Every structure is written in structure tokens, then in C-alpha cells.
Homo-oligomer: A and B are copies of this chain.
Amino acid sequence: MRRCVKCKEKASIYLPHHRLSLCSQHYVEWFEERVQRTIKQFGMMEKRDRVLVAVSGGKDSLSLWQVLHRLGYEADGLYIDLGIGDYSAKSKELCKKFSERIGRKLHIVDLSQELSTIPQIKQLDSRPACSFCGSIKRYYMNLYAKKLGYTVVATGHNLDDETAVLLSNVLSWNLQYLERQTPLLEEKDGFVRKVKPLCLLTERETALYAVVTNIDYIEEECPFAENATSIDYKKIMAQIEEKSPGTKLRFYLEFLRKVRPALSSGTQPVTLKPCSVCGEPTVGEICSLCRIRRKLSVKTQNITELPDPSP
């Protein structure tokens, strides 16, 4: 029988890549300490920061919100209602309930009012939904953080998310994406600081934390994410991790420590300027959100230009 390394009671959790056995109570402690250490290690934020946690209703973002709150950070939530039928309705309710439970404010952005719902945009955009949905969420997270006076945006990306993206960027050696892959993106040119305090914790670890601390989260995947290539890369990383535990963590940390600095010294820094339509920072003339907005307005015009079918 495995015993908890802290209290010697029966362990209920074993973490192979840390060779660590813990009971539920000490697991929660370990998890929260690890988040705090990660924040410190990368210099992500201070207690005086005003933190906006981007919450989706899933285990990662709600766990993150809870941990930050428990660690004493001023952390409120931002929920972007993507308008994806039942999935959005249910996840919004879970975020509201959770915000009441921890007694912190939840801001809600309604995409159908701001722009259009993801299913409607999907009809106009041939890209995989995850691709433009990601840009849209990043845009509103940043915009509302600035509007509402938050100094940091925190997202619930975990080690599995980060290593899947890292593997994908490494296979194509996309140096600009690799250069941006860091758990701390400093405030710059109209961007609020962005941090990923769960980046050293696996998906399984976050799920365990959510379960043990009774967080009510949405278990379904987003219906649009079904064929996302990131899921393939997660499966591949899982295969590798199973054969040699610790690979994911080493792959990510050594990248940050040794490789990213070497690569970024060789890449041209990206020059950002205000979007000529909305004024938000972008690399081109018009930001990706305004390009979607333009497509949507063209579509609406086409519809209104149709002849009236009634006589």
C-alpha cells in the first residue's frame, strides 16, 4: 500500500513523474503550492495585481480561479459566451455558480452582442473553429481586461496543452510561434500581461484537484473541438509520457530554459500597430477580429440585398 509522504496515511493519489504518493488533503496542498511556486518561478504576478481569470466552465480554468483566490490573489472571472447551444448555456451556469461559491465577481461577455456566435461565424469561415475562436477569445480577454482595469489575464492552460502546442510548433519549426510560447507574456503595445499558472501541472492533475475540491465543471468537450489536431498531439505526448514518465515536463521546461532564449535571439521581433478599424494592437493593417466582423457584415448585406420573396 502506498502512503502519503506528508502524513503517512493511505495515499489516494500517485504521481508517477514526481514519484509522489499523497492523500487527498495533502494533494490539494501540494497542487496549490505548486501553482504558487510556478507564479514565483516565472515572476507572473504579485498580490497587488488585479487578475482576470478567463473561465470556460472547464476543470482547468475553474481550478485556476479557485487556487488563485485561495492563494490570496484579487482574482475575478471573465466568461465569454460563445453561443454554442447547450454547451455554452451549461458552462455559463457553472461559472456563475462557481463565482457565487467563492464570492468573486464574474464578468460575462456575450459574443452574440459583440460580434456573432461561433456557430454563425463557422458558416463563413473555412478555418477550423478552434483557430478563429482562439483569436476571438484572446481579443475580448485583452479588451475587457483593459476596460475593467485588470493588470493580468490568467488562463488555465495546463502542461498537456502546452506540450501539445510545443510539439506541433517544433514539428513545423515555426520560430515565431515558438518564441511566443511562454507562460508569461509581458504587457506590451496594448496587450495586458498574460500568464499560465497551471503550465507545469498535467491535465490529470488539474482534473484530480477539481474532483477532490468538489468543483462542479463541464465535462463535455466543446462540440467544435472534436477533430482538433491538438488532440492528436496530446495523444502522442501521452504515449511518450507513459513510456518514460517526466518527458512532458522536461520537454517544456528545458525548452523554456535553454531553447527559447537561443531561438528568440535569432527571430525578428514582431512590430505591432493599432488596427485601422478598432485600434487594438495587430501585426497587419486590420486585426483578425475586424476581418471576421467585415466578413459578417458582407454576409448580412448579401442577405438584405436579396429580393423580398413576398409579393
A265, B259: Cα distance in complex, Å: 12
Contact A258 B175 (CB under 8 A): yes
CB-CB nearest in chain B for A173: B254
Contact B259 A263 (CB under 8 A): yes
CB-CB nearest in chain B for A253: B173
Which residues of A line the B interface, CB within 8 A?
A: 170-173, 175, 229, 232, 236, 239-240, 243, 247, 250-251, 254-255, 258-259, 262-263, 265-266
Most chain B CB atoms below 10 A, which of A173, A247, A263: A173
Contact B243 A173 (CB under 8 A): no
Contact B232 A243 (CB under 8 A): yes
- A170-B251, A171-B251, A259-B263 known; 20 new pairs, CB 8 Å cut-off, are A170-B170, A171-B240, A171-B250, A172-B247, A172-B250, A173-B250, A173-B251, A173-B255, A173-B259, A175-B258, A229-B243, A232-B240, A236-B236, A236-B239, A236-B240, A262-B262, A262-B263, A262-B265, A262-B266, A263-B263
The 3 A-B residue pairs whose C-beta atoms are closest, nearest first, are A173-B254, A262-B266, A171-B251
Q: Determine how close the nearest CB of chain B comes to the CB of A166; give it in whole angstroms.
A: 9
Can you give 7 A-B contacts (C-beta < 8 A)? A170-B251, A171-B251, A172-B254, A173-B259, A236-B239, A259-B263, A262-B263
A255, B174: Cα distance in complex, Å: 10
Residues of B within 8 A of A250 (CB): 171-173
Main secondary structure on chain A at its contact with chain B? helix
Contact B258 A173 (CB under 8 A): yes
Residues of B within 8 A of A255 (CB): 173
Residues of B within 8 A of A170 (CB): 170, 251
A239, B229: Cα distance in complex, Å: 12
A2, B170: Cα distance in complex, Å: 34
Residues of B within 8 A of A258 (CB): 173, 175
Residues of B within 8 A of A229 (CB): 243
A186, B118: Cα distance in complex, Å: 55
Residues of B within 8 A of A171 (CB): 240, 247, 250-251
A118, B263: Cα distance in complex, Å: 41
Q: Determine how close the nearest CB of chain B comes to the CB of A198; give it in whole angstroms.
A: 21
Residues of B within 8 A of A172 (CB): 247, 250-251, 254
A7, B263: Cα distance in complex, Å: 46
CB-CB nearest in chain B for A263: B262
Residues of B within 8 A of A251 (CB): 170-173
Q: Determine how close the nearest CB of chain B comes to the CB of A200; give it in whole angstroms.
A: 16
A26, B110: Cα distance in complex, Å: 60
Most chain B CB atoms below 10 A, which of A170, A232, A247: A170
